[in-house]
Amino acid sequence: MESHVLHIKNMMCPRCLWAVEGILNKLRIGYKTVEMGKVITALSVSEIENMKELKNALEKLGFELIEDKKMQLTEQIKGYVMYWIRHADTRKEKQTFSSFLTGHLNKDYGYLSSIFSEVENTTIEKYIIFQKIKKAKELILYDELNFSEISFELGYSSPAYFSNQFKAVTGYSPNQFKKVIKSAEF
């Protein structure tokens, strides 16, 4: 039986997988697996009878079916960036993101980088930094980890490097950011 891949934008967390599985089950669209950013099904897009309903249901939850090949590849890269950041503290091997990505997508990093930059108007490296800082802000708001622990959790080589990069992106040191957030709370 031949497999087909449906690429879905904004599907980057376990809850997203669960939500998409729910949509597929409700619409009775058979699938083999649901993974970050994609659904593997026995039916091609043209063979799915209720494709319009699928697109509408996905859009209601903030997802989008992607048919453009460059967009599909870009969404896969974003998914791997999110995975990389989420598991930064548990990676034992000292592998670079470029080797991690090329190993998973079986494509040259220069090609991947070029496509990503064309579609997103930024580099993969800048996107990674932006996502790390976004996650750092979230962790600072939770107020459960100190800055050294946040630095480690996000895979930074040192708290100082984390602090410098945080300030370069936000304009605030992590400590200043925390104080601004605390003063904004009621």
User: In angstroms, rounded to a whole number, what is the distance separating the alpha carbons of residues 170 and 140?
Assistant: 13
Whether residue 130 sits in one domain with residue 173: yes
Compute the half-sphere exposure of residue 24: CA atoms within 13 Å on the CB side of its CA. 22
Residue 57 to residue 54: CA distance in whole angstroms: 5
Please report the pLDDT score of residue 90 as a whole number: 61
Alpha-carbon gap, residue 36 to 9, rounded angstroms: 9
Range of the domain at 57: 4-67
CATH number at residue 185: 1.10.10.60
Residues 50 and 84 in one domain: no
Same domain for 181 and 101, yes or no, is yes
44/74 same-domain check: no
Q: What is the pLDDT of residue 147?
A: 96
- Say if residue 41 is in the same domain as residue 98: no
Last-in-domain residue among 67, 87, 104: 67
Residues 130, 121: Cα–Cα separation, whole Å: 13
Number of domains in the chain: 2
Tell whether 151 and 135 lie within a shared domain.
yes
Both 91 and 153 in a single domain?
A: yes
Same domain, 96 and 179: yes
Q: What is the pLDDT of residue 32?
A: 93
Do 121 and 177 sit in the same domain of this protein? yes
In terms of domains, do 58 and 76 share one? Answer: no
Contacts of 124 (CB under 8 A, 6+ apart): 77, 81, 97, 101, 112, 113, 116, 117
Q: Which single residue is written with the structure tokens 């370069």?
A: 168
> Would you state the pLDDT for residue 93?
55
Rounded to whole angstroms, the maximal C-alpha distance in the chain is: 59
Spatial CA neighbour of 80 closest among 98, 111, 101: 101
Quick one: 29 and 93 in the same domain? no
Give a three-class secondary structure readout of the chain.
CCCEEEEEECCCCHHHHHHHHHHHHHCCCCCCEEECCEEEECCCHHHCCCHHHHHHHHHHCCCEEECCHHHHHHHHHHHHHHHHHHCCCCCCCCCCHHHHHHHHHCCCHHHHHHHHHHHHCCCHHHHHHHHHHHHHHHHHHHCCCCHHHHHHHCCCCCHHHHHHHHHHHHCCCHHHHHHHHHHHCC
Q: Are 77 and 163 within one domain?
A: yes
Q: Which residues of the chain have pLDDT under 70?
A: 1-2, 89-94, 186
